[in-house]
Amino acid sequence: MRRRTYLQLAAAGGLALGGKRARATPGREATQRARLAPGDGDADDTFGAVVALDGGRAVVGAPADEDPSGAGGGSASVFERGDDGWTERAKLAPEDGGEGDRFGHAVAVEGDRVVVGTPGEGLASGADGGAAYAFERGDDGWTERAKFAPKDGDADDRFGTAVALEGDRVLATAPGDEDPDGPGAGSVYEFERVDGEWLERAKLAANTGDSHDRFGSAVDLGDDHAVIGADRDEDPNGAEAGSAYVYEHSSLGWTEEAKLVAENGSDGDRFGAGVALDGGRAVVGAPGDEFPNGDGAGSAYVFERTGDDEWTERTKLAPADGDSGDRFGSAVALDGDRALVTAPADEDPNGADGGSASVFGRAGGAWREGTTLALADGDVGDRLGTGVALDGGRALLGAAGDADPNGDGAGAAYVFDLGAGPAAPTGTAARSTPTENPPEAGTGRAHDGRGRPRLWRRPARGSPRVAPVAGPRGVTVSPRRFPRAVENR
């Protein structure tokens, strides 16, 4: 392969904002540190559709960028943090890029390596067959080192829809793949770098996969485990309810360890649209979920590994001020005892589709809502939260609809300082007592020991449950049975 080197850019984008404060719920205040925008940005680039972060390096995708590969060819930009703030260092595009490739639809970064997905690429496997690219940083800048395409790839696989990177291992998803489980069932491919060459090592497909599951809607990788979303899986919770799968890697290869589903899942939840993994803990977004905040308000779920081949749902996250159509859970990030969940369609406080993100912290065994992030200079249509990344006390949020500074839909990304520890939680953890005769399917209210309402839901199928919800004022309601009342503890 002829290698293209991307020279360091002297200075572009990376506009420091002078430490503006983000809007926050009670708890630790977050600081909006910088706006990142490309030096050659233009309207409708959708810069910020996806983001990745590793220490002082950020990568931001712009899958609709027409420069240099033509309309919808796409690009990705690398930013680095220095003494003078964040600076754009390189713009990445494939040497064989073309119109409609959507390069930058997915990005991952670790150290001096970046992987970018391009699900619209048609050269390797046919129209929308897809591809992914690896870039590495050397003394002369960033160089394209490898192009990934599956050996059995075909048109409409959309390989490269999501990517994950750890060391010399890359996972790239193909949610449109029909082999082996039918049209749109989906698959995920593993590539490994051996003696300087990237080799296709494995193809993963769900043991219970079926047509249109979209296995590979999202992916994350870490510590020889992977979590993979299948956001249109209908088993067991109904059409497009969704699921996620956990895989473990050993000397024998990859083994499906568990299938994750929401205890109170239902049709249209799209559970698995966003996934994140850190150690023995996973967060899964469900942006279509209607409980507790209304149709399409969305939610996210926390799971923990509780034994060999066993993962347990620990809590359900939903913002105190959530509302219908927010799409909370569209993108998720996880770092230790802190989770960051986005709602790119949230209208509070910046108007329709202004977007926001909520920080949740775990303390004393309970997850509670802390800071809510929204742009200090936000506007209608910014869609803050189209992409999200979290590394220690730093968060990176994409806003693919942002018109400032490059025009409508040009997009931007924002760096927030969250502080060293989890967001300071507020409220009292609570538990419920069961009732012998729960009402029919639907939603309603229970009350805590102070008479404050808490939401419950009885699903149409299965046993009655109250979803563990990080609810109003940061109170976490986490009963496993139907409540008559919620008691302080």
Within a 10 A sphere around the Cβ of 256, how many other Cβ atoms? Answer: 16
327 and 448 in a common domain? no
User: CA of 359: how far to CAs of 98, 343, 350, 389, in Å?
Assistant: 38, 11, 18, 12
Average pLDDT over residues 102-111: 99
For residue 460, pLDDT over 80 is answered with no
Structural domain range at position 458: 431-488
* Residue 20, pLDDT score: 44
Average pLDDT over residues 391-416: 97
For position 99, which CATH number holds? 2.130.10.130
Q: How confident is the model at residue 282 (pLDDT cuts 50, 70, 90)?
A: very high
**Is residue 77 within 8 Å of residue 415, measured between CB atoms?**
no
419 and 479 in a common domain? no
Q: What is the pLDDT of residues 399-408, one digit of tens each?
A: 999 999 999 9
Q: What is the pLDDT of residues 182-236, one digit of tens each?
A: 999 999 999 999 999 999 999 999 999 999 999 999 999 999 999 999 999 999 9
Tokens 């997850």 found at: 367
Strand-pair partners of 447: 453
Q: Which of 353, 356, 274 is nearest to 319 (CA)?
A: 356
User: CA of 183: how far to CAs of 11, 235, 238, 299, 377, in Å?
Assistant: 46, 16, 18, 28, 44
The two tokens of residue 315 are: 């809590």
SS3 (DSSP) at 473: helix
Q: What is the pLDDT of residues 432-443, one digit of tens each?
A: 223 333 334 444
354 and 437 in a common domain? no
From 170-174, 297-301, 376-380, the region with the lowest mean pLDDT = 376-380
Tell me the percentage of the chain whose pLDDT exceeds 70. 80
Q: Which helix (H) or strand (E) holds 303?
A: strand 299-307
Total tally of structural domains belonging to the chain: 2
445 and 381 in a common domain? no
User: CA of 159: how far to CAs of 54, 147, 162, 447, in Å?
Assistant: 24, 12, 8, 48
* Residue 422, pLDDT score: 56
For residue 256, pLDDT over 90 is answered with yes
* Residue 421, pLDDT score: 60
352 and 450 in a common domain? no
Strand-pair partners of 386: none
pTM to 2 decimal places? 0.84
The gap from C-alpha 256 to its chain's centroid, in whole angstroms, comes to 21
For residue 2, pLDDT over 90 is answered with no
Length of the chain: 489
Q: How far apart are CA 343 and CA 399, in angstroms?
A: 11
440 and 403 in a common domain? no
Q: Which amino acid is at 149?
A: A
* Residue 11, pLDDT score: 34
Q: What is the pLDDT of residues 168-188, one digit of tens each?
A: 999 999 999 999 999 999 999
Q: How far apart are CA 317 and CA 468, in angstroms?
A: 8
Average pLDDT over residues 371-390: 97
SS3 (DSSP) at 472: helix
* Residue 467, pLDDT score: 44
For residue 284, pLDDT over 60 is answered with yes
* Residue 420, pLDDT score: 66
Domain endpoint, select from 381, 399, 424: 424
From 131-135, 274-278, 332-336, 483-487, the region with the lowest mean pLDDT = 483-487
438 and 416 in a common domain? no
First to last CA, the chain: 63
Domain endpoint, select from 388, 406, 424: 424
User: CA of 270: how far to CAs of 27, 218, 257, 343, 478, in Å?
Assistant: 30, 11, 21, 14, 22
Average pLDDT over residues 297-311: 96
Q: Where does residue 423 rank: exposed (0-12), middle (13-18), buried (19+ CB within 10 A)?
A: buried
Average pLDDT over residues 365-390: 97
| For residue 292, cis peptide bond before it (omega within 30 degrees of 0) | yes
Q: How far apart are CA 134 and CA 176, in angstroms?
A: 22
Average pLDDT over residues 359-377: 95
For residue 451, pLDDT over 60 is answered with no
452 and 344 in a common domain? no
Task: Walk across the sheet containing 215-222 and list its strands.
Answer: 215-222, 225-230, 243-250, 253-260
382 and 236 in a common domain? yes
* Residue 237, pLDDT score: 97
Summary mean pLDDT of the chain: 86
Residue 124, sorted as left (phi over 0), alpha (psi -120 to 50) or beta, turns out to be alpha
Within a 10 A sphere around the Cβ of 451, how many other Cβ atoms? Answer: 7
Average pLDDT over residues 127-154: 98
Average pLDDT over residues 297-314: 96
Q: How far apart are CA 382 and CA 316, in angstroms?
A: 27
Q: How far apart are CA 371 and CA 361, in angstroms?
A: 9
* Residue 25, pLDDT score: 42
Domain endpoint, select from 403, 424, 445: 424
Q: How far apart are CA 158 and CA 439, in angstroms?
A: 45
222 and 338 in a common domain? yes
Q: What is the pLDDT of residues 332-341, one digit of tens each?
A: 999 999 999 9
129 and 105 in a common domain? yes
From 270-284, 292-306, 444-458, the region with the lowest mean pLDDT = 444-458
Q: What is the pLDDT of residues 50-79, one digit of tens each?
A: 999 999 999 999 999 999 999 999 999 999
53 and 38 in a common domain? yes
Q: What is the pLDDT of residues 419-436, one digit of tens each?
A: 866 544 444 332 222 333
* CB burial readout 353-368, b (16+ within 10 A) else e: bbbbbbbbbbeeebbb
